[in-house]
Amino acid sequence: MTMSLGRSTRTTAFLIVGGAIAAAAVTHSVWSEPMQEQPFATRAVCAGRYDLNIPEGFEIRIDAALLNGFQVTTLGQMDEQTLRTTVETRRRSLEDGETDASGEQTRLRWARENGRTTILASDVVIDIPGVVLESYEVEAYSRQNGTVFKLVGTITQENEADELAMLTHVAEGLRDEDGPGFCLDSGRYPERLDWQVVEAFIHDPDMVGYGMTLSISDGLRAPSDIPDPAKTLSPNATSRQIADQPGYETQIVTPGATGREDGVAIRFMASAGQEAKAGQPFVTIGAELFKDAESADTPPYDTQTSRALWDSILTSLRPRP
Helix (H) or strand (E) holding 42: strand 41-47
Q: What is the pTM of this model?
A: 0.82
Q: Distance between CA atoms of 92 and 90, rounded to whole angstroms?
A: 5
CATH 3.40.1000 domain position(s) in the chain: 20-64+193-319
- Residue 89's SS3 state is helix
Q: Distance between CA atoms of 46 and 317, rounded to whole angstroms?
A: 9
pLDDT tens, 50-69?
Answer: 999 999 999 999 999 999 99
Which residues is 196 bridged to in the sheet? Answer: 67, 218
pLDDT tens, 17-29?
Answer: 333 223 223 333 3
Cβ atoms of residues 179 and 188 within 8 Å: yes
Burial of 217 (0-12, 13-18, 19+ CB in 10 A): buried
Per DSSP, 230 falls in state: G
CATH class of segment(s) 20-64+193-319: alpha beta
Burial of 52 (0-12, 13-18, 19+ CB in 10 A): buried
- The confidence band for 13, taking pLDDT boundaries of 50, 70 and 90, is very low
